[in-house]
Structure 1
Amino acid sequence: MEKILQEAILHGQKYTHNGNPASYIPELQKVNSSDLGVYIRTLDGKEYGVGSYQQKFTIQSISKVLVLTLALMDNGFDKVFGKVGVEATGDPFNSIVRLELKHLQKPLNPMINAGAIATTSLILGKGGNEQIERILDFAKLVSDNPHISINEDVYHSEVQTGDRNRSLAYFMKSTGVIEEDVESLIQVYFKQCSIEMNCQDLARIGALYSNNGICLKTGKEIIPKSICRTVMAIMTTCGLYDASGEFAVNVGIPAKSGVGGGILAAVPNKIGIGVYGPALDDKGNSIGGIEILSYLSDVLDLSIF
């Protein structure tokens, strides 16, 4: 397996020069754009890592997977999907256009920013501090890493540059999708995006979803099977922004990317994969990371289709 991962890294490195780190959040530019790492966890507990797999990065939009899961556990399907849809979009992840179409009434899915902010508003807690603590505790639980924390520098950078996300939240407040205080909510959203992990953490999360929410170490259910399946379905159709369809065709693995360079992938009943490569394409996805997953999907026959 390590040899295959080495080959996947070499394949991905051919493409990293075509991308750049995210520029609209200044702190995210302070990375080595040629970094590339991958980590795999199998459902029998074996783990393999190659490249910059220990490098920490903020998970950004990957947090949407965890928050959607927690929101569904807190509220049930009807309430969550009464606030946000499950349909794919061909628009950029931070677009406001669809919110203005009266026949839609709610964000198209939980993996775009508007939908994610609406989902975050559903996390139970007495105010923003308790909400983010619950999200952080859940991140520690599903990654089996009690040391997961928030990168404060990235968080403050998001606060200073996050006017587009504020506008999405205020627009949804005006239409009734969001009922909570916008400023408190948007701080929670910025903090969840600034949670810091590495490829190993992502692979362990992916393995948990792959195993239908059953912890590999204890055999206990952490996430209900029905929620795991729903979240992975949405990852498949919406997880890579407006490149999700192309990724489904070429790679065929449920996955969620983030502009910090990470990609979380979960192959049902097989393995969890964590990938890191901060050089992004014009859709906001890791160029090298996508190529690594494409290589692994071909070699290991991982496509779910």
Structure 2
Amino acid sequence: MKNLLESLVENNRIHVSEGKVASYIPELSKTNPSDLGICVVGLDGKEYGAGDFEKKFTIQSISKVISLMLALLDNGKRNVFEKVGMEPTGDSFNSIVNLEVKSPDKPFNPMINAGAIATTALIGGDNQEEKSERLLEFTRKITGNPEINYNEQVYLSEKETGNRNRALAYFMKSNGIIDGNVEEILDLYFRQCSIEGNCRDIARIGAMLSNDGVIPWSGERVVSREVSRIVKTIMVTCGMYDASGNFAVHIGIPAKSGVGGGIMASVPRRMGIGVYGPSLDEKGNSIGGAHVLKGLSDELDLSIF
């Protein structure tokens, strides 16, 4: 496996020159566009990595999977999907038109920004500090990494420049989609996007989901099989933004990307995969990471279809 991963990384490094790092969040523009790495975590607990798989990055929208799991644990399926839909969208992840014209009653799904903000608003806690700590502790548990933390510089950069997300949040507040203090909800959302990890960390999340909610290395169940199924299904239909259909056809693995360059993938009952490559395509997905996943899926016949 390690030889295969090393070969895939080296053979696909050429593609990183085809994209660009995210610049609308100033702190993300400082990343090295040539980075590319992958880690695979099997359900037997064995881990294999290649390339820049130990390099830290902020997980950004991969955190939407984490907040969705917490919201489902805290509120149940019915209450969550009263506030946010579960349908894919052909528009960009931060579209305002999508929310205002096509679906003013609730965001299309939890993987676009509006839907993720609505999901984050459902995380339980008596105050902002408790909600933030619960999110962090849950992430530490499902990654098996007690050192996981927020990247303060990226958090502040997102908070300073996140005006599109503010527009989405205040629109949803005016329509009764979200309750509570909008700025506090946004602050928690910006924090969750700034969670910092590496390929191993997100591969472990993918492995837990592939094991139907049970952590492979400890045997502890953290979410129900139903929650795991819901999350993986939404990852298939919505996890790669408006490129989700193309990704499903050509790669066929439940996955969630982030503009920090990460892609977290979960192959049911087989493995979790984490890739990192901050050079992004026009949809906001890691261009080198997608090519590495395509090669791995083809080589090991990982498509679920």
Cα contact 2:262–2:286 (8 A) shared by 1? yes
CA distance in 2: counterparts of 1:103 and 1:206, whole angstroms: 30
Residue ranges of structure 1 left out of the alignment (5+ in a row) = none
CA distance in 2: counterparts of 1:267 and 1:193, whole angstroms: 24
Q: Which residue pairs with 1:231 in the alignment?
A: 231
Moved more, 295-304 or 102-111: 102-111
SS in 2 for 1:105: coil
CA distance in 2: counterparts of 1:184 and 1:26, whole angstroms: 22
CA distance in 2: counterparts of 1:219 and 1:23, whole angstroms: 40
User: For residues 99-119 of structure 1, what are the alpha-carbon distances to aligned partners after superposition, in whole Å with 9 as ceiling and x for unaligned?
Assistant: 213765100000000000000
Shift of 1:46: 1.1
Q: Which residue pairs with 2:147 in the alignment?
A: 147
CA distance in 1: counterparts of 2:212 and 2:290, whole angstroms: 24
Shift of 1:270: 0.2
Residue type at the aligned position of 1:48: Y
Shift of 1:91: 0.4
Moved more, 150-159 or 211-220: 211-220
TM-score, reference length from structure 1 = 0.98
Shift of 1:127: 2.4
User: For residues 38-87 of structure 1, what are the alpha-carbon distances to aligned partners after superposition, in whole Å with 9 as ceiling and x for unaligned?
Assistant: 00011111110000001000000000000000100110000000000000
Counterparts of 1:165-176 in structure 2, within 5 Å, are 165-176=165-176
Q: Which residue pairs with 2:133 in the alignment?
A: 133
Residue ranges of structure 2 left out of the alignment (5+ in a row) = none
Residue type at the aligned position of 1:27: E
SS in 1 for 2:172: helix
Q: Which residue pairs with 1:204 in the alignment?
A: 204
**2:290 matched to 1:290?**
yes
CA distance in 2: counterparts of 1:98 and 1:153, whole angstroms: 30
Cα contact 1:84–1:108 (8 A) shared by 2? yes
Cα contact 1:129–1:188 (8 A) shared by 2? no
Q: Which residue pairs with 2:4 in the alignment?
A: 4
**2:31 matched to 1:26?**
no
SS in 2 for 1:78: helix
**2:49 matched to 1:49?**
yes
Residue type at the aligned position of 2:144: D
Residue type at the aligned position of 2:163: D
Q: Which residue pairs with 1:215 in the alignment?
A: 215
Q: CA RMSD in A?
A: 0.9
Residue type at the aligned position of 2:293: L
Cα contact 2:104–2:175 (8 A) shared by 1? no
Report the identity percentage. Answer: 59
SS in 2 for 1:115: helix
SS in 1 for 2:253: coil
CA distance in 2: counterparts of 1:178 and 1:152, whole angstroms: 26
CA distance in 2: counterparts of 1:280 and 1:184, whole angstroms: 30
CA distance in 1: counterparts of 2:218 and 2:258, whole angstroms: 29
Cα contact 1:259–1:280 (8 A) shared by 2? yes
SS in 1 for 2:119: helix
CA distance in 2: counterparts of 1:170 and 1:88, whole angstroms: 23
Cα contact 1:11–1:295 (8 A) shared by 2? no
Runs of 4+ in 1 over 3 A off after TM superposition: none
CA distance in 2: counterparts of 1:264 and 1:250, whole angstroms: 16
SS in 2 for 1:138: helix
How many pairs were matched up? Answer: 305
